Amino acid sequence: MTEDLLMVEGMTVNNKEQVNAVHLIGAAHLGNSKAESVLHTAGTALGLGIVNILHMINPSLVILSGVLAAHYENPVRQVISQRALVSAQETKVMVSELEDPALLGAASMVLDYTTRRTY
């Protein structure tokens, strides 16, 4: 079972609850090498996806959000420095401190679109 692979001393999981990102983070903090490996692999995969986006739209800033964002920040930066074109390697990567940044970003896009003037 997945739960058994994450279990380390000092950690408890209720059998009725599904294993989620919080459990994965907890296991990694308690020294579970498999959990640390999963977080690193996922962060690297995210970094590769972000590098592709950097090459297409060349933003000056990448903002990560969500429960796992802090754990992905360093792997993403590492992949950008190793794999991105020189022009994209200076892109800043940071973790959002906002409660619901995706919702605010969507609202921002709507406001931008509705206030755009077309002649």
Residue type, 71: H
Angle between helices 33-57 and 69-83 (to 10 degrees): 60
Question: What pLDDT sits at residue 98?
Answer: 83
Give strand pairing partners of 64.
Answer: 95
Record the pTM.
0.74
Give me the architecture of the 2-115 domain, per CATH: 2-Layer Sandwich (3.30)
- Asked if residue 36 lies in contact with residue 8, where contact means CB atoms within 8 angstroms, the answer is no
The mean pLDDT values, 10 residues at a time, for the chain of 119 residues are: 55 69 88 91 96 94 91 96 95 89 82 78
Segments making up each domain of the chain, as ranges: 2-115
Closest to 55 measured CA to CA, from 93, 96, 83, 94: 83
**What is the Cα Rg of the chain in Å?**
18
Q: How far apart are CA 77 and CA 109, in angstroms?
A: 26
